């Protein structure tokens, strides 16, 4: 589902469910944006779904300043195998707006870990991770809410788990929502690490950087955009 108001994107979500849940899910998505004047809802049959036993493990860190939080993100990225120069460029790019003219992109930047060069075909759209969901979304939502997190984390954790499984070396994200300052670094090495504040309140810039190995590009994009995954649980 994607919805807009006055030509501006306001809400988007994706679900992977069994046929008996179809009607209820369409209604849930229809009610999701608080206001919109256009909505596109696509329903598609998926033939093959792979199971992922457990998501990346979650941890959270809070800092006094954006500078300290970004310094920690830089450390996690380098610990994950991203050279410092590449990690620094990624952080700078998100801070400045990675789309044309400093705009916010619809999808993610693909950044070559070795050269820090950009590999996505369309710098406005970027690459979008789709076709991933939780086998039992409600239960996961309940558990994460009990641990002080929101549905944002439910979606972002699923997305990051698929990214790492598809071969992304590490991911850096913070939202373009001016009121939401918690971002994350994810990798197979460090897990899913929530970091606050990765930007100042009121800042409308945000996005995602997928640090990848150039030789993985074709298989990785195919996996992110085409393969369907259901995640079964949170790790113990
Ligand atoms: P959000 O976490 O929804 O605020 O999204 C933050 C940024 O991540 C957006 O501005 C996009 O650049 C990017 N993004 C959002 N959804 C996806 C997706 N499904 N795949 C890749 N990048 C995305």
Q: What is the pLDDT of residue 151?
A: 87
183 C-beta closer than 6 A to ligand 1 = no
* Tens digit of each residue's pLDDT (9 = 90 or more) over 6-42: 988 888 899 999 999 999 999 999 999 999 999 999 9
Below-70 pLDDT ranges, the chain: none
Residue nearest to atom 8 of ligand 1 (CA): 207
Question: For the chain, how big is the Rg over CA atoms in Å?
Answer: 17
Report the predicted TM-score, pTM, of the whole model to 2 decimal places.
0.95
Q: What is the pLDDT of residue 24?
A: 95
107 C-beta closer than 6 A to ligand 1 = yes
Query: Which atom of ligand 1 is found nearest the CA of 177?
Result: 4
Residue 5 CB-half CA count within 13 A = 7
**Using CA atoms, how far apart are residues 202 and 205, in angstroms rounded to an integer?**
9
Contact 105, 201 (CB under 8 A): no
Phi, psi of 60 (to 5 degrees): -135, 145
| H/E segment holding residue 62 | strand 58-62
> What are residue 40's DSSP bridge partners?
2
Q: Quick check: bond before 197 cis, omega within 30?
A: yes
């Amino acid at each position: 589902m994607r919805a807009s108001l006055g030509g501006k994107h306001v809400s988007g979500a994706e679900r992977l469910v069994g046929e008996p849940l179809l009607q209820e899910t369409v209604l849930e998505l229809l009610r999701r944006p608080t206001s919109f004047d256009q909505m596109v809802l696509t329903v598609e049959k998926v033939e093959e779904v792979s199971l992922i036993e457990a998501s990346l493990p979650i941890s959270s860190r809070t800092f006094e300043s954006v500078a300290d939080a970004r310094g920690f993100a830089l450390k996690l990225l380098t610990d994950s195998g991203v050279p410092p120069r590449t990690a620094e460029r990624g952080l700078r790019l998100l801070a400045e707006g990675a789309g044309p003219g400093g705009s916010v992109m619809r999808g993610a930047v693909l950044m070559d870990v070795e050269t820090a060069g950009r590999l996505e075909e369309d710098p406005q759209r970027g690459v979008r991770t789709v076709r991933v969901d939780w086998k039992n979304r409600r239960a996961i939502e309940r558990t994460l809410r009990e641990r002080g997190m929101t549905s944002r984390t439910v979606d972002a954790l699923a997305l990051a788990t698929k990214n790492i499984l598809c071969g992304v070396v590490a991911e850096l994200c913070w939202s373009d929502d001016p009121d939401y300052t918690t971002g994350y670094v994810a990798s197979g090495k460090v897990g899913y690490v929530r970091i606050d504040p990765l930007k100042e309140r009121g800042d409308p810039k945000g996005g995602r950087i997928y640090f990848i190995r150039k030789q993985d590009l074709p298989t990785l994009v195919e996996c992110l955009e085409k393969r369907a995954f259901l995640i079964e649980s949170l790790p113990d």
